[in-house]
Amino acid sequence: MKSSKRLGVGFVGSGFNARFHMLSWTGVRDADVVGVWSPTSEHARSAAAYARSLDVGPCKAYRSITDMIRDPAIDALWICAPNQTRLENLEEIADAITRGRGELRGIACEKPLARNVKEALRMVELARQAGLQVENGIVVDEFCATPAPDVFAAGDVASFPHPALAARIRVEHEDNANTMGRAAGRTMAGDRAPYQHLPFFYSDLFDLGYEAVGELDPRLNTFADWVEPFRQGVVYYLKDGRVRGVLLWNTWGQVDAARALIMDPGPFTANALRGRIR
Ligand SMILES: Cc1cc2nc3c(=O)[nH]c(=O)nc-3n(C[C@H](O)[C@H](O)[C@H](O)COP(=O)(O)OP(=O)(O)OC[C@H]3O[C@@H](n4cnc5c(N)ncnc54)[C@H](O)[C@@H]3O)c2cc1C
């Protein structure tokens, strides 16, 4: 993989999305907008001129995506083309890299990744084939730090290692956003401490509500311990004798008990869990 201090970025697409990112580039450190490609060359030239007018990099128009990959000045691509062309854009990228036309450090793709799940899975497969690391979110260590110096991530976007689950997790909920944001801020300010909080999430649906902790993956074994079927109880998510997640269904004030259970190496059986949290 290439490495250079400043990141040279090429845009695939020259419309609203690309221009929006170029405009916001004035607030981005250590990266330059170097290229843009569009199937309509005059659009590419116009977007490149726009980037230069913003002084966000020595941007020029390229004749193809492969030409951008060939240019050592371009380290990463940002796919901003229309949704229906994203798969063919990535096919060209993967083809160029696997044929040794050039290298990339990364690709960003404007949302949505694709038009449907089948296409999205193909996008992921193509990126992996091209030797790119594909992760669920921004990868950080236990201090919320990304591999880039002085860059931190927290909240919805961050994929972080959790010691109790012995896995990397990404949590799109409020408690994680609040606590991880604080943890990242503390570390950034010099009070370095690992983020080990097991976040909970919640929702309310009329007279039903829940709080939940850990991994609530329906592919895990589940044990439902109802006080009143489907109205009040606790659902445990188990794997290899360990509790990996706890759903507290209309069961309140037990988040810490659920956390303690997930931290406990067990082993646990369904019978041993019956009545454990009420
Ligand atoms: C409809 C809805 C209902 C929800 N209900 C619940 C719930 O019941 N329980 C629960 O636990 N959680 C719930 N959530 C999730 C919770 O709101 C989120 O997990 C939380 O807000 C995430 O916080 P965050 O700071 O990580 O991200 P965000 O709140 O998304 O903040 C990210 C910020 O970054 C800004 N930004 C993005 N890109 C850039 C850029 N390039 N430069 C500068 N700024 C940028 C965005 O404008 C935004 O202000 C809900 C979310 C939604 C949308």
CATH number for the domain that contains residue 242: 3.30.390.30
Same domain assignment for residues 20 and 56 = yes
| Residue 167 in tokens | 């896995």
Q: Using alpha carbons only, give the angle 167, 173, 178 rounded to the nearest 5 degrees.
A: 95
- How many structural domains comprise the chain? 3
Separate counts of helices (H) and strands (E) for the chain? 8, 13
Is the CB of 203 within 6 Å of ligand 1? yes
**Residue 224: what pLDDT?**
97
95 within some domain: yes
The verdict on 16 and 95 lying in the same domain is: yes
Are 82 and 165 in a shared domain? no
Task: CATH number of the domain at 69, please.
Answer: 3.40.50.720
Domain-located, residue 57: yes
Q: Does one domain contain both 125 and 11?
A: yes
With contact defined as beta carbons under 8 Å apart, do 220 and 209 qualify? no
**Which residue is associated with the tokens 């949302």?**
111
State the Cα–Cα distance between residues 160 and 225, nearest whole angstrom.
30
pLDDT digits (tens, 9 = 90+) for 102-138: 999 999 999 999 999 999 999 999 999 889 988 889 9
My answer on whether 144 and 90 are in the same domain is no
Q: Which two tokens stand for residue 147?
A: 């591999």
Within a domain: 193: no
Question: What's the pLDDT band for 56 if we cut at 50, 70, 90?
Answer: very high
Q: Which of 156, 176, 248 to mutate to test the pocket of ligand 1 (most atoms within 8 A of CB)?
A: 156
- Convert the pLDDT of each residue in 32-43 to its tens digit: 999 999 999 999
* Within-domain flag for 278: no
Q: Over 80: is that where the pLDDT of 3 sits?
A: no
What region, left, alpha or beta, does residue 175 occupy, with left being phi > 0 and alpha being psi -120 to 50 degrees? alpha
Using the Cα atoms of residue 84, residue 87, residue 92 and residue 93 in order, give the sign of their dihedral. Answer: positive
72 & 115 share domain: yes
Same-domain pairing of 143 and 173: yes
To test ligand 1's pocket by mutation, which of 172, 175, 248 has the most ligand atoms within 8 angstroms of CB? 172
C-alpha span between 44 and 21 (Å, rounded) = 15
Cα of 156 to ligand 1 centre, how many Å? Answer: 7
Give residue 1's pLDDT band: very low, low, confident or very high (50, 70, 90): very low
* Stretch 147-167: mean pLDDT: 93
**pLDDT-based confidence at 147, cuts 50/70/90?**
confident
Task: Give the C-alpha distances (Å, rounded to integers) separating 69 from 81, 108, 126, 177, 276.
Answer: 16, 14, 15, 36, 58
Q: State yes or no: pLDDT of 179 exceeds 70.
A: yes
pLDDT tens for each residue of 220-269: 999 999 999 999 999 999 999 999 999 999 999 999 999 999 999 989 99
125/142 same-domain check: no
Q: Do the domain assignments include residue 82?
A: yes
CB of 57 within 6 A of ligand 1: the answer is no
Q: Closest ligand 1 atom to the C-alpha of 181?
A: 25
Classify residue 2: in a domain, yes or no: no
Backbone phi, psi, residue 101, to 5°: -70, -25
**Spatial contact of 36 and 11, defined as CB atoms under 8 Å apart:** yes
Residue 220 DSSP one-character state: S
Task: Specify whether the CB–CB gap between 25 and 31 falls below 8 A.
Answer: yes
The predicted model gives 154-159 an average pLDDT of: 97
- Which residue is it, tokens 């659009």? 43
Instruction: Tell how far the Cα of 82 is from the centroid of ligand 1, in angstroms.
Output: 25
Amino acid type, 26: T
Do 157 and 262 share a domain, yes or no? no
In this structure, which residue's CA is closest to atom 6 in ligand 1?
A: 173
Give the Cα separation of 93 and 97 in Å (integer).
6
Angle in degrees, CA 189, 179, 203, rounded to 5: 160
Q: What is the average pLDDT across 183-200?
A: 95
pTM: predicted TM-score of the whole model, two decimal places = 0.79
Mean pLDDT of the chain: 95
Confidence of residue 4 (pLDDT cuts 50, 70, 90): low
Is 165 part of a structural domain of the chain?
Answer: yes
Confidence bin at 29 (pLDDT 50/70/90): confident
Domain that holds residue 168: 138-188
In this structure, what DSSP letter does residue 237 have? E
